[in-house]
Structure formats: C-alpha cells, structure tokens
Amino acid sequence: MNNPIDPVVLQLGSQMHSGWQEVRIRLSLAQIADTFELVLTERWGDSGEVRPVKPGEPCTVSIGDELVVTGHVDDVLPEYDAESHTIVANGRSKAGDLVDCSGEDIRLAGLTLLQIAEKLASPYGIEIVDLVKNEKKFREFAIEDGQPIAEALERAAQIRGARIVSDAQGRLVITHAVQREIATPLVLGGNIARGAGTFSDRDRFNEYVIVGQTPGGDDWSGDAASGPKDRTNDPRVRAPRRTLIVCDTPADAADCKERAELEARMRWAKGRGITYTVRTWRNEQGVWRPGDLVPVVDPFLGIDEKLLISDVQLVESASGRTAELRVSPPDAFAAVPVAEPKPKSSGSGSGKAAGWGWE
C-alpha cells in the first residue's frame, strides 16, 4: 500500500513544493535522462500567494524521504482564470543537458569508456559511476559538429556492450542492467491490477553483422584496421533474417562482436516485454526502479520466474497512485551472447509463456 505521508516534493534550493495533484515520473534503462511532470491546480482563495517555479533551476524530486530525480526544471506552464490557477512543471535529470547540447568536432584517442564519459560530462557537473569497468581503450573516438553529446556517449557504450543511465543523484551510471534483487513479487490477482504484453519479431534478426573501421597506425594496419567485422546469431529468430550495421565509431573485430551481441539483446528486450500496472509505488526496498529483478507470477501468460524491470512510470491522478512496470527477460540485458531458449523449469508456471513467444 502507498503510505499517505509520502508526498511528492519538488525542491528548488531551500523552497519545497508539494501537494501536486497529478504526477508522472519516468525512469528507464532505455533513456539517459529520467523525466518528471508535476501538475497543481488551486483556487486563488485557498492558496494565497502563488508559489513561483522557474525554468532552468536546479531541482530534486523526492517521494517522501527517498530521492528519485536530481536535475533541472525544463518547462513551467501556468494556466489561470479569475478563480483558479494551474501550474505544470516538467523537468529531467542532469543528463538532460547532454541530450540537448551538441559537440564541436571533438577528437579523443586512447581513452576508456569511463574516461570518455568523464571528459564529456564533467563540464556539465555530472559525475560518472562505472559498474562495468571495461578497461579497453578506444584508438580513436570523435563527436562530429552538431552531434548531441548523449548520442555520442550512448554510441561509445554500445561498442563496449553497456548502457548509460541516470541515477537518483543525477549521476551517469555505466551498467549492464541488474541493480538490485527485490523480494516483493508481482502477482496477477494480487498486486497486479492490469497487464499488457508486447511480443514482436518485426525488428529482430537471426544474424547480426557489424562492420567497423579502425584508423591504421604503425602497429595496426591491413585488413585488421580497414575492414573489421564480426557477427552473432539469435537462434530464437527464424532464418534467414539478416541485418548489417555499419559502426559509426572506430571499432576492431572484438568491438564489432560485442556490438552485435548487444544489438541482439536490445532488440530482444524491445520485442519481449510486459507492462504491469500495480497500485503502489513501493516495494519492501523502496520506490520501484529500473534494474530491479523481481519475481513474477502470471498464470495467464504462464510466467513464474524472476524478470527485470526496464521501465518505471509512477503516476498519480484523481484515481490514486499507480506504477507501470515494464518487465523483460533478464538475459535480454545481460552481458552474454544470446543463446538457445532455456527449458522451462518446474514450478507453478503453466509453461504457456513459450507458446506466447516469450523467448
């Protein structure tokens, strides 16, 4: 159950704004910056002086005493008449600046993914947390004129088979996916109010071929430098379905292999997911977050296993609070090659998930 004493608080310096009547907070493994939208409607006579909220201000968003987003207010949308006023405040994590701002022909060489991320994010006051710790250096990495910095960072992370996301403190985290294991189960007929699935092979392939190019040098020349290529197969997808991706970042054959495996996993995760609506924002460890590994019991789809939460939307409206949790197979986010489907384990699951094309 939601604790009624857990207000959503937008803090701007020493000013704290609460009492929001509509809330939408999105946290995701698929976006580098988390987002929020807060709406307040008040009658003039009840509210007294209007509390100012200014765009561009540093801010935090908390649920009770738990920090959820650290960043900036992007938009303030006041609407009013003679009797009442409405204020809408939209904002994002600190990484929103990296989404909006572009580079100016930046050339970097001999740096790791962590070092590149620190070089590009430090001017914006964003700290980097590296959970992957890939020490392989890029021979060369470039940001073209006008390219968004976030896009360049995500491109570098893909080459290393990783993801870059924001955390509650506004830091950027280099990660694979799983952050913590949750004991609170999601149970259809229990805390799950509604489920909606996505089962699609439209953007999936049996074979992924990645072609890269690494600048030559005294110790690096010939075919190894001019035409690195590697591939991976997804045996879950019918053959022949083949795609070729030209890597726009200098990459050797090993980089191409990692990128191919990540591409297969990303497309698997996108095409296999279920969004559960639950009537609570919290589990026993706090607010639901992307990267939570959670037990799921769904007899309709025949699921009785631990799944990974990849997207969280926390919603508050006149009908109360709900959390929309998108779950996917955890292997779709793991730093391992896509493999043959695993046999169903014994348990309370009906085995029906395979019939829905879960794998």
Q: What is the pLDDT of residues 176-190, one digit of tens each?
A: 887 789 999 999 999
Residue 195 sits in the same domain as residue 275: yes
pLDDT attached to residue 153: 94
For the stretch 229-244, pLDDT in tens is 888 999 989 999 999 9
pLDDT attached to residue 178: 74
Residue 72 sits in the same domain as residue 134: no
57 is a domain residue: yes
pLDDT attached to residue 139: 85
Q: What's the CATH code of the domain at 293?
A: 2.30.300.10
194 is a domain residue: yes
Contact residues for 31 (Cβ-Cβ < 8 A; gap 6+)? 165
Residue 194 sits in the same domain as residue 222: no
- Domain range holding 168? 98-175
Looking at 93, 128, 143, which one is the last position of a domain?
93
Residue 218 sits in the same domain as residue 190: no
Decide if pLDDT at 265 tops 90. no
The pTM of the full predicted model, rounded to 2 decimals, is: 0.85
Residue 123 sits in the same domain as residue 211: no
Structural domain count of the chain: 4
Provide mean pLDDT across the span 324-340.
Answer: 81
Provide mean pLDDT across the span 155-159.
Answer: 87
What pairs with residue 60 in β-bridges? 11, 70
Percent of the chain with pLDDT over 70: 86
pLDDT attached to residue 19: 87
pLDDT attached to residue 41: 76
Decide if pLDDT at 347 tops 50. no
340 is a domain residue: no
pLDDT attached to residue 45: 46
For the stretch 183-227, pLDDT in tens is 999 999 999 999 999 899 999 999 999 998 665 555 545 555 556
Letter for the amino acid at 169? Answer: Q
Chain position carrying tokens 């909220």: 53
